[in-house]
């Protein structure tokens, strides 16, 4: 069910929610958190779809904030707030409230959502597109327990990763790290098997639009204390992480993505294995990050200390020694 509230106010939106609860049995009971999605106008539907899917695992209230403040080049923009409420089959296991503000009504994002937050429930803010320079100090970031960004969605993903490192605050997280979960788990599983000889060198290759490649390099160098070399190639035909090779005295371990969500694992004196290593979509990444609402301490160490030791990413081969 979808209810449109054109040219409205936050008070009227709140009253409409109460009316829906009284007349149709729509309740906020069982909602475990409030998810704020700060999206640009016209790009919000993909994020809403991901939130609807994730809500089946994490029932929540979703507040979508789309703002269009005054533009000096276009002149004054009418101050206006249009809202849309989605429940039932149009909202998964959540209730979605879309706030489209323009002009003066868009000048204070925090005031738009304060009256609609679930009482005594954690708040998570997600920027699926362009993110503020310092998420923790942004209006929608200051009220959030966790703040989710996506460096790969920025115009320059590698520069965005460095910016996140410089402005990191506990509670920040980026999908570039979330997309590494399967890679990290597989590499850790391989190293947990004999022989247990130490890794002496790490070689990683990925596309230059993949901040996950840089983060994986920083994490492996931090965890293994080995010389780490990573190559960033133009992501024209193949995006993301391409391969990881771990050198040991007993031979090299190589994990490479071959396409179609399948990876090839080669190890000394063992047959080659094909493993499922699909690219994680928005729904998977969002659901993963909503499973924990405390700061990710390992991400904090990697994005600040480990990334600083690795050095900034470039389209060239970069070697960083411990």
pLDDT per residue as tens digits for the range 209-236: 999 999 999 999 999 999 999 999 886 6
* pLDDT tens figures, 144-192: 999 999 999 999 999 999 999 999 999 999 999 999 999 999 999 999 9
pLDDT of residue 74: 57
* pLDDT tens figures, 53-94: 999 888 999 999 998 765 444 556 788 999 999 988 777 778
pLDDT above 70 covers a percentage of the chain that reads 90
User: In which region does residue 174 sit, left (phi positive, over 0), alpha (psi from -120 to 50) or beta (all else)?
Assistant: beta
pLDDT above 90 covers a percentage of the chain that reads 71
pLDDT of residue 75: 59
Class of domain 181-320: alpha beta
pLDDT of residue 318: 43
Distance CA 229, CA 211 (A): 15
pLDDT of residue 320: 41
Strand-by-strand arrangement of the 33-38 sheet: 2-5, 80-86, 95-102, 60-68, 33-38, 123-126, 146-149, 172-174
User: Is the torsion defined by CA of 258, 233, 161, 313 positive or negative?
Assistant: positive
Distance CA 183, CA 189 (A): 10
- Identify the CA nearest to 82 among candidates 181, 166, 7, 137: 7
* pLDDT tens figures, 252-275: 999 999 888 899 999 998 999 999
């Amino acid at each position: 069910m979808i209810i449109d509230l054109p040219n409205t106010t936050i008070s009227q939106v709140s009253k409409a929610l109460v009316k829906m609860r009284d007349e149709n049995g729509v309740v906020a009971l069982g909602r475990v958190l409030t998810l704020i999605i700060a999206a640009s106008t016209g790009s919000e539907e993909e994020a809403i779809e991901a939130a609807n899917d994730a809500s089946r695992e994490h029932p929540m209230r979703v507040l979508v904030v789309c703002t269009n403040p005054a533009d000096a080049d276009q002149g004054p923009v009418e101050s206006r707030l249009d809202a849309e409420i989605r429940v039932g089959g149009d909202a998964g296991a959540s209730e979605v409230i879309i706030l489209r503000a323009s002009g003066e009504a868009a000048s204070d994002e925090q005031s738009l959502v304060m009256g609609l937050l679930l009482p005594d429930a954690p708040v998570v803010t997600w920027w699926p597109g362009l993110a503020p320079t310092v998420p923790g100090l942004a209006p929608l970031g200051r009220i959030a327990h966790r703040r989710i960004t996506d460096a790969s969605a920025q115009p320059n993903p590698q520069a965005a990763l460095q910016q996140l490192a410089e402005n990191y605050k506990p509670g920040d997280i980026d999908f570039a790290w979330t997309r590494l979960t399967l890679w990290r788990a597989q590499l850790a599983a391989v190293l947990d098997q004999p022989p247990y000889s130490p890794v002496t060198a790490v070689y990683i290759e990925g596309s230059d639009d993949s901040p996950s490649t840089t983060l994986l390099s920083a994490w492996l160098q931090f965890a293994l204390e080995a010389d780490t070399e990573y190559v960033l190639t133009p992501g024209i035909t193949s995006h993301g992480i391409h391969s990881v090779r771990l050198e040991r005295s007993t031979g090299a371990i190589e994990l490479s993505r071959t396409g179609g969500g399948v990876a090839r694992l080669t190890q000394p004196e063992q047959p080659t294995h094909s493993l499922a290593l699909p690219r994680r979509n928005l729904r998977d990444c969002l659901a993963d990050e909503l499973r924990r609402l405390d700061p990710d301490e390992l991400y904090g160490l990697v994005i600040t200390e480990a990334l600083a030791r690795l050095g900034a990413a470039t389209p060239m081969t970069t070697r960083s020694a411990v």
